C-alpha cells in the first residue's frame, strides 16, 4: 500500500507541481494518475520513486516511511516515457542492470534476465542493442528491466505514449495482463483518458498539482464531481448545460426534465449528460432538447450528431451519439432526449 500525506513539491521559482496531496493506493491495485500535460503527474511519480525530494509531506510504502530514503532503498521500479535504456548495452545487460547495482552475482542475474525476457517474448533479441529494436520491443525491454528485480511497486510514466495507435492497444492489454499476473501495486501515469478508463482499477484525475476526483473508471465516467472531470473524461465531451430547478422540474436549455431527489426550487445547476446517453427523436416532446442538426460525424459504428438548440436569446450545442441506422441529415429538426444516468454539478 502507498500513502501520501500532504505531499507537496515546489520547484524553484514557485511552481507547485504537486500541491498538498493526500492519497491511498491499495496493495496490488492498478492506479492511474490522469491529467493534462503540466498538471504534475511526472513530478508526483518521481517523488514517489525518490528521484525528487518533496518540499513537505510524507510517503509511506507498506508500513515504512520512505520519505527520506534514496530511490534504491524504496523497492520501486520506474518505467520512463522514453524507456531510458542504455544504448551501449545489449538487451540482457539492460534487463540485468538493476540486479548488477544490487550486486547480484553475474550468472544469477543473467539467468534472471533470460527468464524475464522469455516472459516478455524477448528471447530472440537478447544480444541486440536498443538501437536495433522497434519502439514496442524497447518498451518491453524497459518493462522487463522493471520486472526483473521483483519490486513491490511499479511506477509507469506514460509508457505507451511512444507507440503507434495499434501497438498502443496491444501493449495496453499486455501490460494489464502482466500486472494482474504479478499482482504488483502499480501507479500508471497517463494524459490519455481512454487508457486510464481501460486499464485502471481506480483513477485520480489531476489538475494543477491537485487531485480533482478519485474513483473507479465508472465512477469518474458516470459521476464526475466537477465540470473539469466531466469534460476531461470520455471520448466525446460531456454535454454541460446550465439549468435551474423551477416549479417541481429541472429546466435545462428549453427541456423540462424530471426533478432529481434532493434539489430545492430556485437552485442553479450544471446539467451533464454524455452524448452516448442522449437519444434522438424526430418528433417534438417536452422532456427533450429541441434543435436543428448542425453536424453529423461518422464514428464508425455510430454517428455523433451536434444539435443547435435555441433557448430564448441563447444558443447551446447538444451532442448525441446515434446508431448507424439512424443517421439524420444536417438541417433536420430533431429532439435530443436524455436517458439516465446523468450528472448534476
Residues that bind Mg ion (CB under 5 A): 42
Contact 308, 279 (CB under 8 A): no
Residue nearest to Mg ion (CB): 42
Nearer to Mg ion by C-beta: 42 or 319? 42
Per DSSP, the three-state class of 255 is strand
Identify the residue whose cell numbers are 429546466: 251
Residues making contact with ligand ADP (CB under 6 A): 11, 15, 17, 35, 37-43
Query: What is the 8-class DSSP label of residue 258?
Result: P
Residue 41 or 342: the one with the smaller Cβ distance to ligand ADP is 41
Residue 43 contact among Mg ion, ligand ADP, none, beta carbon within 5 to 8 Å by kind: ligand ADP
Residue 157 CB, nearest approach to ligand ADP (Å): 7
Give the strands of the sheet with 268-273, arranged side by side: 255-257, 249-252, 239-246, 268-273, 343-344
Instruction: Please say whether the beta carbons of 314 and 242 come within 8 A.
Output: no
Least CB distance to ligand ADP at residue 217 (A):
20
Select 35 or 130, whichever has its Cβ closest to ligand ADP: 35
In the list Mg ion, ligand ADP, none, the entry touching 47 (Cβ below 5 to 8 angstroms by class) is none
> Minimum CB separation from Mg ion for residue 191, in Å?
8
Among Mg ion, ligand ADP, none, partner that 17 touches (CB below 5 to 8 angstroms by kind): ligand ADP
Q: Find, among 216, 172, 218, the residue nearest to 192 by Cα.
A: 172
Residue closer to Mg ion (CB basis): 45 or 305: 45
Q: Which of 128, 195, 129, 189 is nearest to 167 (CA)?
A: 195
* Strand pairing category for 239-246 and 185-190: unpaired
By beta-carbon proximity to ligand ADP, the closer residue of 42 and 139 is 42
DSSP state at residue 163? S
Least distance from C-beta 141 to Mg ion, angstroms? 21
Amino acid at each position: 500500500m502507498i500513502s501520501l500525506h500532504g505531499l507537496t513539491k515546489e520547484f524553484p521559482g514557485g511552481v507547485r507541481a504537486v500541491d498538498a496531496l493526500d492519497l491511498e493506493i491499495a496493495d496490488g491495485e492498478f492506479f492511474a494518475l490522469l491529467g493534462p500535460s503540466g498538471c504534475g503527474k511526472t513530478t508526483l511519480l518521481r517523488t514517489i520513486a525518490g528521484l525528487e525530494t518533496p518540499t513537505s509531506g510524507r510517503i509511506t510504502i507498506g508500513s515504512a516511511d520512505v520519505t527520506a530514503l534514496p530511490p534504491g532503498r524504496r523497492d520501486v521500479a520506474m518505467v520512463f516515457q522514453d524507456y531510458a535504456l542504455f544504448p551501449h548495452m545489449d538487451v540482457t545487460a539492460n534487463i540485468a542492470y538493476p540486479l548488477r547495482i544490487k550486486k547480484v552475482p553475474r550468472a544469477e542475474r543473467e539467468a534472471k534476465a533470460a527468464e524475464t525476457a522469455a516472459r516478455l517474448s524477448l528471447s530472440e533479441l537478447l544480444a541486440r542493442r536498443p538501437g536495433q529494436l522497434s519502439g514496442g520491443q524497447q518498451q518491453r525491454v524497459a518493462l522487463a528491466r522493471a520486472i526483473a528485480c521483483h519490486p513491490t511497486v511499479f511506477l509507469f510514466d506514460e509508457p505507451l505514449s511512444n507507440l503507434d495507435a495499434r501497438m498502443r492497444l496491444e501493449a495496453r492489454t499486455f501490460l494489464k495482463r502482466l500486472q494482474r499476473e504479478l499482482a504488483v501495486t502499480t501507479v500508471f501515469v497517463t494524459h490519455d483518458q481512454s487508457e486510464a478508463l481501460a486499464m485502471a482499477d481506480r483513477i485520480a484525475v489531476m489538475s494543477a498539482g491537485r487531485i480533482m476526483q478519485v474513483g473507479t473508471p465508472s465512477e469518474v465516467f458516470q459521476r464526475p464531481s466537477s465540470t473539469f472531470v466531466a469534460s476531461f473524461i470520455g471520448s466525446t465531451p460531456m454535454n454541460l448545460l446550465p439549468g435551474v430547478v423551477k416549479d417541481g422540474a429541472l429546466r435545462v436549455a428549453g427541456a423540462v426534465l424530471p426533478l432529481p431527489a434532493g434539489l430545492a426550487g430556485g437552485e442553479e445547476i450544471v446539467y451533464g449528460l454524455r452524448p452516448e446517453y442522449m437519444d434522438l427523436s424526430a418528433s417534438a416532446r417536452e422532456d427533450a432538447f429541441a434543435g436543428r442538426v448542425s453536424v453529423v460525424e461518422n464514428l464508425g459504428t455510430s454517428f455523433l450528431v451536434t444539435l443547435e438548440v435555441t433557448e430564448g436569446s441563447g444558443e447551446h450545442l447538444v451532442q448525441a451519439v446515434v446508431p448507424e441506422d439512424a443517421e439524420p441529415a444536417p438541417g433536420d429538426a430533431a429532439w435530443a432526449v436524455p436517458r439516465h444516468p446523468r450528472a448534476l454539478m
